[in-house]
Structures are given as C-alpha cells and as structure tokens.
Structure 1
Amino acid sequence: MYDELPPTGRVRARKLGLAPGTGVPGPTNTIVDVAGVRVGQVTLHEGTRLHTGVTAIVPDAVDNAGGRLPAGLFVGNGHGKLVGATQLVELGEIETPILLTGTLSAFRAADALVSYVLAKPGNEHVESVNPVVGETNDGHLSDIRSRPITEAHVLQALTSASSDPVALGCVGAGSGTAALGFKGGIGSASRRVDLPGHGTVTVGVLAQTNFSGTLTVSGVPVTPDEALGDVVDATAPEGNSCMLVVAADAGLDSRQLTRVATRAVFGMAPVGSDFAHGSGDYAIAFDTAPAGNLPDAGLNPIFSAVQEAVAEAILDSLFLATTTHGVHGHVKHAVPLDFVVEKCRAAGVFER
C-alpha cells in the first residue's frame, strides 16, 4: 500500500500527514494506478563518480507495433532537451514509451529506444519513429560528460517495466538530481476522480525533480540553511529542470491533455519552485482509455487532481531520497524529515 515504509526507512509525505490536498490516491499512489501503465528503472551508483540512470514509462498501448496514444505537452520553460517534442505537439500523440535520464545521455537513450521499437514484431518495415526522451542535468553529482547510459541500460529499463509500485527517491533518472536545495529524485502519486455521469477515473504522475526554489510543505517554507546548518552545499546551481509525466484513463483528446499538462506544471508552484531561467520544466500527458466525450467544463476535477498529485510526487521525490556524495566533492543532503515535521507542527499544520 502507498503508506508503507520504503526499505531505506525514509517516509512518504502521506505517511507523515503532509500530503497535499484532499484527493483520494489509488492503491499504490503512483502512476501505475492508471490501468495499462508500467514503469521500469535502471539505477547507476558507482562510488562518488556516477549517480544516474533511466526511468521508462511504458503504456501498454504503445508497446506494440503501430501503437499510439493521444498526448499533450506543456513547456513551462524550454531550457531542456526534450527529444521528440515537436512531433508530439504536431500530431498530438505518442508512439513510443517515454524515457527519462540525464541530459547528455538523452540522445543515446533515444537511439536505444528507436532500436527497441524497430525490433518489435510487426515493425519490420518501419522507417520513421518518434522517440520521446526527457532529461534533467545530474552533472552536479555525477560524471555527466562520460555519458554512461548504454543501450543495454535502456533496454533493461524498458523490458523490466511492471505495474508494481514505483520505486521512489534516488533511483533511475533521479539518482543524481537535486531539488529545492535538497537531494531530489523520482516521485510519483495518483488520484481517483469521480466525474458525474462519467464514473471514476484515475490520474497518475511521475516526476523527475531537479529544480531550484524553496521547499514548501503545507505552506511552510523549509530552507537548507535552517534545516541543515553548516553542511549545506553552497555550490549547487540554480534551475536544472523538472520532468513531469501524467497518465489518465479518462478518454481525453490531445487538446484536453495539453490543458492537463499545463496544470501539471502549475502543480510545481505550491511546493516552492522558482521557475528559474535555467530550469527546463516540461509536462507530458497521455490517456490510455478509449476516446470519450468529457466536455471541457468537466475537466476541473482532473485539473485539481493533477496539481495535487504533482505536488505530492515532488515531495515524495525528496522525502524518499537519501544523502548522496558525488563528483568534485559535491554532496546533496536529504531533507531531514524530523525537522520538516516539527516546523509544520509549530506552524499548526496538523491542527488545520
């Protein structure tokens, strides 16, 4: 279940009573609560030299020859290298799984994803593929110039993708990231949404967090200076990006999914993003259900659910991350959860 302790002993925001909003999560409170979505991850930790990896979001519908799903993209700030973005926008669809990795490995990951798709039975005569690969820059903690991600790593992430609860924190594409002054990582959350006349749908979010700002939990700011004191790594760069992937099973079309993706980026604000110049903030939204007839006026509950899930996914990416020592003597410390709880308690959060 979503409130179980992870193996590291770190705790999800919901377990601490600090989950944003009032929405109800799915069984795992991760993106795989959306039917037909799987996630696979490969993590590379090598001493202090490497902290990087691959996270693969694999919708069943595009894991077959000729498979496509409606999709939308919102670019909050375009300081990034989102492979496949223009065709995704032009055609309003994805035709491959979505990969996340480190900046300079994005292009090797894209090539490996093309190989994966071309090898699918039924694709023997395919001559064009639009791989979708997002990235954030993990060069503060990892030897990014070595471009360590290989085709084997990508294929392992894709072929190991499952509907098991998503591993969070310093894993996959979040292994070497930092966010809001602390160690970042991979986060995920979901919401069940009741739509009058349309039944219950699920929206799920996966976040790769690597951006600047002031961590804000239930309206309470938590800065590295006050939480960590003299151990703060003052060399950390500003910006550096956030990738958000949203899945839904509401039968939305690409235009509606673009609106949903927009709200996903909005969901970064309540947890403290400063949307800095150097931050590539992207959200991709796709839908796994057959086309429906939900009017735009009926999207409001989905908009709210997505923003809540993004905020919770970001918090979980930090709350489950662990202190990481990287290249050039750099270190990013995990946010101290006891400090967060005590500050929130002093602010009356638990009495609201």
Structure 2
Amino acid sequence: MEKGKWNAITDVEGVSVGHVTLDRPGDGDDYFCTGVTAILPHGGNWFEEKPAAASFVLNGFGKTAGLVQVEELGVLESPIMLTNTFSVGAVLEGTLQYMLDENPAIGDSTSSLNIVVGECNDSYLNSMRKMAVRPDDAVRAIREASGGELAQGAVGAGKGMICYGAKGGIGSSSRIVEAGSRTFTVGTLVLTNFGRGHECRFPGWIPPEEPAPETPVAEEEKRPDGSVIIVVATDAPLDARQLKRIARRAAIGLGRTGTHIHNGSGDIIIAFSNGLLTRHGGDEMTVTREIIKDDHPVMNDLFEAAIASTEEAILQSLLNAETTTGRKGRVVRKAEFR
C-alpha cells in the first residue's frame, strides 16, 4: 500500500508527536537512559473534542493508566503519553497539570479528566528505580510536539528500550487507503521493548549474540521479558467498536515480526480516530455523525493498513536506533541486517 509523505503517524492530519530524552549519568553505576513521548491526537482541545478510541490488550503484564475509561466511554480526552514503568505516575501528573492549565473548568464546573499513559520496562539500561522522569518532562514533551518528520529510534520513551536483543525504541509508519473519492490515512507509532534475537523474522536479520536458553544468567543481568505499546491513528470516521477491530489487526502486524508474546510481556494496543470527534457536554439528547459502514470494502483496506504499518513501525524502531550505553556500563548494540 502507498505510504504517507513522512511514513509516520504524523501523516494522519492533525496528529503530532513530541519527545523528551534523558541521557545522563547519575551517581555511581547509575545512568538515566529514558524519556517521555507524547502523541497528540489533533490540533484542537482534546478534552472539548474527544477522538473516538479503543484499546486491545494482547498480554496484560503492563502498568497503563486510563484504559478502563477508554474502554467504557470509547473516547480519548488527553494525549497518549509513553514512558518507562516507574514513571507512569510522574507523566500522568505532568499531563494532568498541563490539561488543567488549558481547561479551567475540568474538576470544577465540569467533569474530571482521564489521562492515558503507557509504559515499557527499560531497567536494563536505565536506573529506573531513581525515577528520573519528572512531571515537567511530560509537559515539555506535549509543548514540543510537532507534525511532519518524526524522530525515531532511541529517543523519548524509547531511549532505553531493547527489541529482539538489539536497540529498539520508537518506530512509526503509515499507509494510505483510497475509497472512491475519499482518501484516509492509517499511521502507527510503536514503543518496542520485546522479544529475543532468535525470534525475529525480518529478512536479513542478524540475531545479536545472546546466551543460549539453557545457559545460567546472573539474576542482576537478566533482561525483563519486555513489552510493546502500539498506537494506531486514523482520520477515517470509525467508532470505538470499529477501532477495537483495527487494534486487533495491529496485533497481527506485531506477530508477523516473529514474537510469540512472552509471559512477562505487556503488549497493549490503542487505536483512535480524529475523524470522529465527540464534543464535551451540551444539552442535545442525540447526535448525528458520519461513520464508515462495517460491510464496506474499505474496512478490509483499513485492516490491512493497520497490519502493514504496525509491522513496518517495529522495523523502523530497529533501523533508526543507535548503539546505546546505559547503567552499569551495559551496552545494547544497533540492529544488524545483511
């Protein structure tokens, strides 16, 4: 399928992405190798104009915030924020403060607010226990978000992540779907931190050197099973139920890369559409909105676009990441291909 101009989630009109990357030594063997990534669903007020949204949990070993309400009401009210496991609270706090500053009515004359935060465990390279990410980092990631060309690899939340034993992190891709006189875009952004080197099925992949499965590894040197957060965006007018169907297809794109989803892996997919917005509040009892018919052939094309963009986004996270040194002098090398 045709790719968007930037081959990134930012090809979906209105979507922007911001990164804050922490890359500095701490005390002793500590090193801060982590960050925050903010995905802004459109250029307006996200609380006042809520994009349709859904999530799909492929394996639930994860510590996300906000997905319960997304599942119940089928909308987003905030940016989607990504960080490391122990920084979910700080990122939620910073994002909440940003939203409260932008919307004085929240929690006062109108309802409360649902912040969505996803995470992966970067403790092999990052001194995660020190919780170096602070609320201000989340605010800065939101404020610095932009459209267009997207920084990928070992940046933002992806700074300390490992994918298939090589350096992973942030990856993105997009596909264009044409249906008669209409054109829609599907864009995916991933935070990759999963898999063992021998599992990867990308053509030309050279597995990194790693201990054989039966080889004892010191407890402190063991790497977490890992996780992946997949965010699928589209401007096609899809409701929450249809977006959950899109999210499930993204899992196929993940599976195509080779992973069999480890026991301790958090594999979570969030899908949203800024082509179907719900205005906050109002006195009207009903709303009339344009939604794609389930039985229209374009649905199959949207499914294919979600699968293809997810698979390539994972590849892009490997291609764009650089060899990274983290805590205790540990090194994770850039992926190699023949």
**Which TM-score band applies after superposition, normalised by the shorter structure?**
0.7 to 0.9
Distance 1:236 1:216 in 2: 23
Deviations 1:187-246 (A, max 9, x none): 000000112x4621000000000001422214x5532139xxxxxx99452521000111
TM-score by length of 1: 0.83
- Match among 19, 34, 45 for residue 12 of structure 2: 34
Instruction: Structure 1 unaligned segments of length 5 or more: list them.
Output: 1-22, 227-232, 343-352
The equivalent residue for 1:262 is 248
CA pair 62-258 structure 1, distance change in 2 beyond 3 A: farther
Q: Superposition pairs for residues 99-138 of structure 1, below 5 Å?
A: 99-123=81-105, 125=108, 126-138=110-122
Match of 1:245 in 2: 231
Query: Which residue in 2 is equivalent to 1:174?
Result: 158
Alignment of 1:183-262 (within 5 A): 183-195=167-179, 197=180, 199-213=182-196, 214-218=199-203, 222-225=206-209, 235-262=221-248
Alignment match, 2:58 = 76
What's the CA shift for 1:67? 2.5
Instruction: Give the alignment of 1:3-152 within 5 angstroms.
Output: 23-47=1-25, 49-60=31-42, 63-123=45-105, 125=108, 126-152=110-136
Equivalence for 2:327: 327
In structure 2, C-alpha distance between the alignment counterparts of 1:121 and 1:274, rounded to whole Å: 43
Q: CA deviation at 1:292?
A: 3.0
CA contact (8 A) 1:212 1:238 kept: no
Name the aligned partner's letter for residue 153 of structure 1: D
Q: 1:293 aligns with which of 291, 294, 300?
A: 291
Partner Cα separation in structure 2 for residue 35 and residue 263 of structure 1: 22
What is aligned with 1:305? 305
Task: Classify the secondary structure of the residue corresponding to 1:224.
Answer: coil
CA distance in structure 2 between the partners assigned to 1:127 and 1:121 by the alignment: 11
Query: Which residue identity lines up with residue 272 of structure 1 in the other structure?
Result: G
* Cα RMSD after superposing both structures: 1.9
The 1-side partners of 2:315 and 2:226 are apart by 17
Instruction: Name the % identity.
Output: 40
Distance, in Å, in 2 between the alignment partners of 1:88 and 1:117 is 17
Structure 2 unmatched runs, 5+: 211-216, 277-288
Distance in 2, matches of 1:292 and 1:203, equals 18
SS of equivalent residue, structure 2 residue 7: coil
Of Structure 1 and Structure 2, which has the larger fraction of its residues in strand?
A: 2
Shift of 1:65: 4.5
> What is the total number of aligned residue pairs between the two structures?
308
CA distance in 2, matches of 1:94, 1:263: 20
Q: TM-score, normalised by structure 2?
A: 0.86
Partner of 2:286: none
Deviation at 1:294, TM superposition (A): 1.7
Kept in 2: contact 1:181–1:215 (CA 8 A): no
